[in-house]
Structure formats: C-alpha cells, structure tokens
Structure 1
Amino acid sequence: MSSKLTRFEKARIIGARALQLSMGAKPLIEVKEALDPIDIATLELKKGLIPLDIRK
C-alpha cells in the first residue's frame, strides 16, 4: 500500500487540523507571523507533524 496521500486525503487532513486550530488548539509549529489556520495546517502537514491518521 502506498504511503503517499491523495489530494482528497490531504484536503481532509488539512481541513480537520485547521478546524482544531480555529477552535483553540495550539500549533505544532512556531508561528512567527499572522497566518490563518489553513496555512498553519498545511505547514504542519509538510513537516509531518499532524497527529491525524488515514485508514485505507
């Protein structure tokens, strides 16, 4: 099975994490400038820090 995420899986993970961030979750990366939750979630995904799993 491939460990690469599809674009739909990426969108779902980023959306779920962005919702958590907008509801007050602490970012897992250091945020130095004003970013919206989607940008923060995208950066977390690129660094592999998002604590969410996808079952295929």
Structure 2
Amino acid sequence: MRLICTACPSIIERSKLEILHSQGKSSRAIAQELGRHPSTIYRELDGNDP
C-alpha cells in the first residue's frame, strides 16, 4: 500500500501555484494564499523551473 505525502502539494495546489507564480506573486504571498509554509513553495518552484 502506498502512502500519500501530506507535505507535498496536490495537483490542484500545484496548478494554483503555477498560475499565481505566472502572475508575478511572491513565494511568500503564494504560500499564504495556499496555506502552506513558504519553504514548501520555494522547493516546488526550485524543482519545477526549467
């Protein structure tokens, strides 16, 4: 049985993160809007940048 990572953003959160980031929102503003810790957002953006 595979456990779901509750620390990892969901597909919906990742979509919102991408939209907010493309709108020029800061990582801290995105974190506040999604109810996540800023470090989670920093990691997502760092890992998903081309």
TM-score band w.r.t. shorter chain = 0.3 to 0.5
Report the TM-score when normalising by structure 1: 0.39
Higher helix proportion, which one?
A: 2
Report the TM-score when normalising by structure 2: 0.42
Which has the higher relative contact order, 1 or 2, with Cα contacts under 8 A spaced 6 or more apart?
1
